[in-house]
Structure 1
């Protein structure tokens, strides 16, 4: 992608962001609207937006199939609650999930492209992604090349993302910005626009592998970028906060930001995803009114 085309695309958006102002606007939004969303209906909705994730060194075919079977059992045990949106695993386990999964409508996502660092030759990233899709992955999560971005190589960033999108084919691609490694609000806004411009179907905050993961401020900036991009192009992009979603209040916080910035059109489990596993039991316990350790 030519540098002048990238600069032309970025020039259509407001990039003059101030960290203090973003923090103030985010706080004001949450102060005004968070409590009104602490309802059973919202919590049930959020249950259906979870990307149930296992990305452990100790994962195996057997453990991943058992993990997947929990989703099958949940659908039987709680027929009145929505099942999770996605099961997210390493690429080598896509086939195991596909073999074990019996619940229709649950997507199979794989982190790919040398997750979580994105530090590999493009040929390796493409091969890993193509194999994951061949094995059953319906969605692919990749990491933006953060090093290139921080050096100002926006052309290289866009080219990498576009190549990965080409490898994904019909599978939806989520681009992880790793917002905790970016320098400021302006960086997050630029990374969001670049990723969408280059072919992202979703933009995602974090891998969960760095010291700083999702934050309300990063989510606010990314949702503002998604809204501006939609207004400019008519293309709807999904949003996925991930990493550090440790409480029900955290989940409702991100729901509130999406609702207030993006609106009702994004309040489906297609366009809003939550990258977490610990949240599933917490939400279920809150909904049931007692401690539940199902997953």
Structure 2
């Protein structure tokens, strides 16, 4: 009898050992395993340097600058924002359409959720989206119930797009399930409104982390992936953009699902915009060069691009 018990015990021990040696891969690790996430930061830097040196100059044209202007998400995310200031901000977009009928309008007005109603009720230009940063922007540090409620209310008040921040702390501690669950719950709260997931690439440090975060965000329901909140340094970088665009391309090749891209934060010059445009063109191709699939999160760039398009210094916004 004892021998039978011993044999059984040994079999169980062997099974446990076997399980320990070959842990079952989570569905998140399985999703990541379909992509190359083992990236070399120096190789990424070199690839980006090469693109900038060889390709940017050919995109430095009036036509591209007009396109970039039409891809801007005109953003006001200040502590001092008020109904009055956001109303005036929206009015400028209305006036722009009348003042420059031959130029494209901006793609989006981006504000905090408490101003969605103000923008929604005062925006008169067809085709300009209303984006709200939601889910406890910019830290994403809140109870999921709070983040879901904020997102649902923003959509109810007129937001046509939602920008959320990936829970970066969960990602860095390896809680991929927590990351994906958060993103997916917020995606449900968006209803039909497209959702952009901000990776806050400056906190992710490595190209490998940026690639993994990009894939997990898309896997969990992102319609766009976005570099940064603009509230932390470093914000968007060409290297982060390059890795994110690679991830979008590979995800598209794997699934057939097209995901948009939005660099934001640190777009300080027309040259910055041209660099991001060039990276998208070289990595993703023409299919992404529309103001649906490429967005630029910035306000300071609007006047700079406008000045170059018009050939004189212009401070419209």
* TM-score class normalised by the smaller sequence: over 0.9
The corresponding residue for 2:16 is none
The corresponding residue for 2:205 is 183
Distance 2:131 2:38 in 1: 34
Would you say 1:81 and 2:81 are equivalent positions?
Answer: no
The corresponding residue for 2:3 is none
The corresponding residue for 2:86 is 64
| TM-superposition CA deviations, 1:101-145 (whole Å, max 9, x none) | 000000000000000000000000000000000000000000000
The corresponding residue for 2:249 is 227
* C-alpha contact (below 8 Å) 1:144/1:157 kept by paired residues: yes
How many residue pairs are counted as aligned between the two chains?
294
| TM-superposition CA deviations, 1:190-214 (whole Å, max 9, x none) | 0000000000000000000001100
3-state SS, counterpart of residue 34 of structure 1: helix
* C-alpha contact (below 8 Å) 1:175/1:203 kept by paired residues: yes
Aligned Cα RMSD in Å? 0.8
Q: Select the residue among 209, 224, 228 that pairs with 2:231.
A: 209
Structure 2 counterparts to residues 144-183 of structure 1, below 5 A: 144-183=166-205
Would you say 1:292 and 2:310 are equivalent positions?
Answer: no
Q: Select the residue among 106, 118, 133 that pairs with 2:155.
A: 133
The corresponding residue for 1:255 is 277
* C-alpha contact (below 8 Å) 1:3/1:155 kept by paired residues: no
Q: Which runs of 5+ in 2 are unaligned?
A: 1-23
After TM superposition, give the deviation of residue 30 of structure 1 in Å. Answer: 1.4
After TM superposition, give the deviation of residue 254 of structure 1 in Å. Answer: 0.3
Q: TM-score, normalised by structure 2?
A: 0.92
| TM-superposition CA deviations, 1:172-223 (whole Å, max 9, x none) | 0000000000120000000000000000000000000001100000000000
Q: Which runs of 5+ in 1 are unaligned?
A: none
3-state SS, counterpart of residue 150 of structure 2: helix
The corresponding residue for 1:16 is 38
* C-alpha contact (below 8 Å) 1:243/1:276 kept by paired residues: yes
After TM superposition, give the deviation of residue 259 of structure 1 in Å. Answer: 0.4
Runs of 4+ in structure 1 deviating by more than 6 angstroms, as ranges, are none
After TM superposition, give the deviation of residue 16 of structure 1 in Å. Answer: 1.3
The corresponding residue for 2:13 is none
Distance 1:199 1:116 in 2: 19
After TM superposition, give the deviation of residue 3 of structure 1 in Å. Answer: 6.3
The corresponding residue for 2:140 is 118
